[in-house]
Structure 1
Amino acid sequence: MSEGQYSFSLTTFSPSGKLVQIEYALNRVQQGAPALGIKAKNGVVLAAEKKLPTPLLEGETISKVDTFTPSVGCVFAGMPADFRVVLKKGRKELYQVDPSGAYFGWKASAIGRDMQNAKTFLEKRYTPEIELEDAIHTAILTLREGFEGALTEKSIEIGIIGEDRKFRVLTPAEIKDYLSEVEVGTA
């Protein structure tokens, strides 16, 4: 029998023992635009590539990094609606939740397209003593590793939560300043 007959429900196993809908969701995440998180000594950084599916779409209406409460933020790869159901409480922690509901605490992680290369890059750059500012720079450098074209303040999003426990998404002007700092630092 075809796996398609068993793809109508999240809890229906196929004859081979697979939850087909979960596999579809996991594959969709792996094909999504890169997104990452870094837990710093004094905060957490979330960043994502912001790729518009068509040039006709208003870029300001699409958000990959979002604030849910004053102390909780989220970044996602895959389908936008799926990530909204997983947040419960906020603190300076970094969790990765996959479509099956499994979650893990991380010091730094990446999801989406080229996630293995991004994770390898993060493993080389991450230290437990990393400060928030350095984590922002590391996030930009990690996104740049797998990015096609030039990074701009319009092509990425960055959110941070610091010692004040208030999550906020950086403005395009702030991102532009960080991009300039990274360019100077790598020149």
Structure 2
Amino acid sequence: MQGQQQQAYDRGITIFSPDGRLYQVEYAREAVKRGSPSVGVRTPEGVVLAADKRRRSEMIEPDSVEKLHKADGHIGIASAGHVADARKLIDVARREAQTNRLRYGEPITVETLAKTVTDFVQQYTQYGGARPFGVSLIVGGVTNGRPRLFECDPSGTPYEWQALSVGANRSEIRDHLEAEYEEEMTLEDGVDLALSALTVVDDEEMTPEGVDLATIDVETEEYVQLPDEEIEAHLAERDLLAEDEPEDDEDAEEGSEE
């Protein structure tokens, strides 16, 4: 009898367990942990978004692996988890940003966009017949000269951070960010911290094709995704650049996750 009750809490998205847990939301968080990591760093000079997008096979076209997304001219989003879920939420964010410009004649704020996305995510934790989104997003940007950085997790809760990571090895990367982060960092320092955070666990050197990197500067308030040449220069400057192409990883993650 007790086992049957456990299965009911386990399968029902709208049913709380006796200790106040929603198991399906917790499983969605576990799906996020299987995705390759993404990192966000907020500095007084702007926001840095970085993501590990190393390919499972050399046969995969590098441009087909998307980890960073431009939501609006001044806002970027990094993702970790199921690719299809991420694409759906990115579409929601872009549509909301466009609607705000048409309706109010001004760009949407970073906080408003993050809360709109999490409101959409939260609906899928409250009603039956659907599962939660197995993805976490980092929403970063600049509004009126003020850099902002938010996390949108599968529960539908927006958290604001100075620096954070989502995806695999989150605890270890978070410890590195907490140890190395400084409130008065420059944007270049933020790039340095974000790149070093991506290699904190496996300590492997990286290639430009295996990293996505973008910045939003407070001066221009524009989302800029760095080309491979600039990423290579940043990696080389920090002794993180691989000399040879890495071998295929036979134990790479499932294709439905990023």
How big is each residue's C-alpha offset from its partner over 1:131-184, in whole Å with a ceiling of 9 and x where there is no partner?
101110111111121246321101111111002111121111110010111129
Q: Quick one: which of 149, 171, 187 aligns to 2:227?
A: 171
Match of 2:246 in 1: none
Match of 1:24 in 2: 27
Indicate the percent of aligned positions where both proteins have the same amino acid.
Answer: 28
- Residue pair 1:3, 1:20 contacting (<8 A) in 2 also: no
Q: Quick one: which of 189, 195, 199 aligns to 1:140?
A: 195
Match of 2:175 in 1: 120
TM-score by length of 1: 0.87
Match of 1:93 in 2: 148
Match of 2:14 in 1: 12
How big is each residue's C-alpha offset from its partner over 1:83-132, in whole Å with a ceiling of 9 and x where there is no partner?
42574633221001111111111001112111111111111111110010
| Cα distance between partner residues in 1 of 2:203 and 2:181 | 23
CA RMSD of aligned residues (A): 2.2
| 1:45 has 2:48 as partner | yes
The amino acid that maps onto 1:18 is R
The amino acid that maps onto 2:232 is K
| Cα distance between partner residues in 2 of 1:35 and 1:56 | 23
**Cα distance, 1:59 vs structure 2:** 1.4
Listed as ranges, the gaps of 5+ residues in structure 2 are 98-108, 111-141, 241-258
Residue 93 and residue 58 in structure 1: after superposition, are their counterparts in 2 closer, same or farther (change >3 A)? same
Residue 94 of structure 1 aligns to a residue whose secondary structure is strand
- Residue pair 2:54, 2:209 contacting (<8 A) in 1 also: no
Match of 2:60 in 1: 57
**Cα distance, 1:52 vs structure 2:** 2.4
TM-score by length of 2: 0.64
| Cα distance between partner residues in 2 of 1:176 and 1:131 | 20
Q: Quick one: which of 54, 66, 69 aligns to 2:69?
A: 66
| 1:78 has 2:134 as partner | no
How big is each residue's C-alpha offset from its partner over 1:60-96, in whole Å with a ceiling of 9 and x where there is no partner?
1111111111111011111134342574633221001
**Cα distance, 1:48 vs structure 2:** 1.0
| Cα distance between partner residues in 1 of 2:11 and 2:54 | 29
Residue 109 of structure 1 aligns to a residue whose secondary structure is strand
Residue 161 of structure 1 aligns to a residue whose secondary structure is strand
Residue 15 and residue 142 in structure 1: after superposition, are their counterparts in 2 closer, same or farther (change >3 A)? closer
Aligned length: 183
- Residue pair 1:66, 1:159 contacting (<8 A) in 2 also: no
| Cα distance between partner residues in 2 of 1:102 and 1:116 | 19
